[in-house]
């Protein structure tokens, strides 16, 4: 029998009357990678925040290394050997790698911090983990992947660290960086460390996990050995229903559908002579590796970045788009890959965000029409199934999938004709993905047109009518969905490399 490192038994948690965790139990073996999955709002983060001391449980028990414990703060958890590495990294960007690793525990010489010793200790730690990072460089000069490695090194700088909690660790990494991270995780497992691995990317789990626990609606569903955990079985347990992701076999767009948007010879930041057409009622997918220029192309079309040269036509007429305001005026909306930074004001309410792009339609000379705002927000909250206790709820309290649907609602209220979706399902669960897909299909059925950037090839194959592939700022291929395959897309995506 494997040695049990941690047991969380019958955990309860309430927030303002909401039963966030209802009798949830989970056990973690020593030296295992244990995946924790579930839809947004299933209770994964709440459970882990209780384990890491950020939240206090309202019931149940935690047994760690054979002893029942109370964890009242993150520092207390860290002293016990439990550390959580959050999706939003908690490093101080203006400090060096060594300063971040040993912050608050700096070696001293007399009354002064001994930087030489700190750098030496950090170098030895990084080398022991096979991490090739100079401990003297500032963290803000490192890639996200390297910063994540620093977070892991910081966690392991505490000699008694036995359990690492990783929350969506691969969300912003390239495929090469993901494999580097997986190697490190395997090395840590070989050293006897335990890892709780939270991820929406179910395809990763067979590569890295030993067991998988599924939560749904704040309740424990089941724990499976990885060899028994098929993707479809996990999805069914997560959402309580079957969801299928079969590729689209043929385009739904008529051959004579009018061209609603044409881009000719576009040159901008990391964009080199890009030309393409978008038809009415079409989902045009954009594929490519990180840095291929897809987002830069769309930001230039939307007026967020300046054009060096090139022309944009809408319905056959040349248009000048020099700012997002111009784009919106022409019926173009842009849903950024970073919805929290560029799509929403998370400190404002649902209703304030919903009408943000069309605020002039709800105001007179002096006053806002609060009733009209409430009526239209409630209409779209219901239409898009946005889960919120009320339209006065702050957006920061919504799940990722519901935040994404609210961004869509904002542009639907504005009555856009063209939607640019940049990584529309990044960081949201399979159930919310399915709802976003249904929404996109509903939009094109109503005659809207969509450009979709995605790093997930199965997503492109499921949703697109055509797929444009970019590499190093250029279009290297274009495929009708009837002929598109993962192999062809990757061939075009690496053509210039």
* Tens of pLDDT, residues 256-266: 899 999 999 99
Instruction: Give yes or no for a contact between 435 and 401, defined as CB atoms under 8 angstroms apart.
Output: yes
Q: Beta partners for 449?
A: 418
Give percent of the chain above pLDDT 70: 96
Of residues 149 and 314, the one with the higher pLDDT is 314
What average pLDDT does range 430-440 have in this prediction? 81
Enclosing H/E stretch for 265: strand 259-268
**Cα separations in angstroms, 441 against 13, 188, 208, 447:** 37, 43, 34, 10
The confidence band for 410, taking pLDDT boundaries of 50, 70 and 90, is: confident
What average pLDDT does range 67-92 have in this prediction? 89
The confidence band for 464, taking pLDDT boundaries of 50, 70 and 90, is: very high
What average pLDDT does range 333-338 have in this prediction? 83
Shortest CA distance to 196 belongs to which of 91, 46, 83? 83
**Interval 136-150: pLDDT, tens:** 999 989 887 788 888
pLDDT at res. 17 = 65
> What class is the 259-493 domain?
alpha beta
What average pLDDT does range 386-391 have in this prediction? 87
Instruction: Give yes or no for a contact between 291 and 259, defined as CB atoms under 8 angstroms apart.
Output: no
pLDDT at res. 266 = 96
Of residues 164 and 380, the one with the higher pLDDT is 164
pLDDT at 398 over 60: yes
pLDDT at 49 over 90: yes
pLDDT at 346 over 90: no
The confidence band for 360, taking pLDDT boundaries of 50, 70 and 90, is: confident
367-327-399 Cα angle (round to 5):
70
The yes or no reply on domain 4-239 and CATH 3.40.50.300 is yes
Name 27's Cβ contacts closer than 8 Å, sequence gap at least 6. Answer: 4, 6, 7, 8, 223
Residue-range domain boundaries for the chain:
4-239, 259-493
**Cα separations in angstroms, 429 against 11, 143, 216, 447:** 23, 25, 11, 27
pLDDT at 497 over 50: no
The predicted model scores a pTM of 0.62
What average pLDDT does range 312-324 have in this prediction? 95
Of 216-230, 244-258, 436-450, which gets the smallest average pLDDT?
244-258
Sheet containing 33-37: give its strands across. Answer: 82-85, 163-167, 194-198, 33-37, 211-216, 219-225
pLDDT at 272 over 90: yes
Q: Quick one: DSSP state of residue 139?
A: G
Of residues 11 and 200, the one with the higher pLDDT is 11
**Interval 201-235: pLDDT, tens:** 888 899 999 999 999 888 999 999 999 998 888 87
* 259-493 matches 4-239 in CATH topology: yes
Of residues 19 and 462, the one with the higher pLDDT is 462
């Amino acid at each position: 029998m494997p040695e049990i490192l941690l047991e969380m038994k019958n955990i309860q948690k309430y927030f303002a009357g909401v039963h966030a965790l209802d009798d949830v139990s989970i056990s973690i073996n020593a030296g295992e990678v244990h995946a924790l999955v579930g839809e947004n709002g299933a209770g994964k983060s709440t459970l882990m925040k209780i384990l890491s001391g950020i939240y206090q449980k309202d019931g149940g028990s935690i047994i760690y290394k054979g002893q029942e414990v109370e964890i009242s703060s993150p520092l207390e958890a860290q002293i016990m050997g439990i550390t959580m590495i959050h999706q939003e990294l908690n490093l101080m960007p203006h400090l060096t790698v060594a300063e971040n690793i040993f912050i608050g525990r700096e070696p001293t010489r007399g009354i002064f911090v001994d930087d030489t010793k700190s750098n030496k200790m950090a170098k030895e730690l990084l080398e022991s983990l096979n991490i090739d990072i100079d401990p003297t460089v500032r963290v803000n000069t490192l890639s996200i992947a390297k910063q994540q490695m620093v977070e892991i090194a910081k966690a392991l700088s505490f000699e008694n660290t036995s359990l690492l909690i990783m929350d969506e660790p691969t969300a912003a990494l390239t495929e090469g960086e993901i494999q580097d991270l997986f190697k490190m995780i395997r090395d840590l497992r070989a050293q006897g460390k335990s890892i709780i691995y939270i991820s929406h990317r179910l395809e990763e789990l067979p590569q890295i996990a030993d067991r998988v626990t599924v939560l749904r609606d704040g309740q424990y569903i089941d724990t499976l050995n990885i060899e028994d955990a098929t993707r479809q079985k996990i999805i069914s347990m997560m959402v309580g229903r079957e969801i299928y992701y079969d590729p689209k076999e043929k385009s739904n767009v008529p051959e004579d559908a009018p061209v609603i948007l044409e881009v000719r010879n576009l040159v901008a930041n990391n964009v080199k002579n890009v030309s393409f057409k978008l038809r009415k009622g079409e989902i045009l997918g954009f594929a490519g590796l990180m840095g291929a220029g897809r987002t830069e192309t769309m930001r230039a079309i939307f007026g967020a970045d300046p054009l060096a040269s090139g022309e944009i036509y809408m319905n056959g007429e040349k248009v000048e788009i020099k700012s997002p305001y111009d784009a919106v005026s022409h019926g173009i909306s842009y849903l950024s890959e970073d919805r929290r930074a560029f799509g929403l004001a998370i400190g404002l309410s649902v209703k304030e965000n919903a009408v943000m792009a069309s605020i002039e339609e709800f105001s007179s000379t002096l006053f806002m029409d609060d009733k009209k705002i409430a009526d239209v927000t409630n209409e779209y909250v219901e239409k898009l199934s946005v889960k919120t206790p009320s339209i006065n709820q702050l957006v920061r309290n919504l799940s990722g999938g519901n935040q994404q649907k609210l961004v869509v609602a904002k542009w639907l209220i504005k009555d856009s004709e063209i939607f640019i979706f940049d990584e529309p399902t990044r960081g949201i669960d399979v159930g919310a993905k399915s709802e976003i897909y249904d929404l996109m299909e509903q939009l094109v059925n109503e005659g809207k047109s969509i450009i979709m950037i995605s790093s997930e090839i199965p997503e492109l194959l499921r949703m697109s009518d055509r797929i444009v592939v970019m590499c190093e700022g250029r279009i290297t291929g274009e495929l009708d969905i009837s002929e598109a395959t993962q192999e062809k897309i990757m061939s075009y995506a690496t053509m210039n490399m």
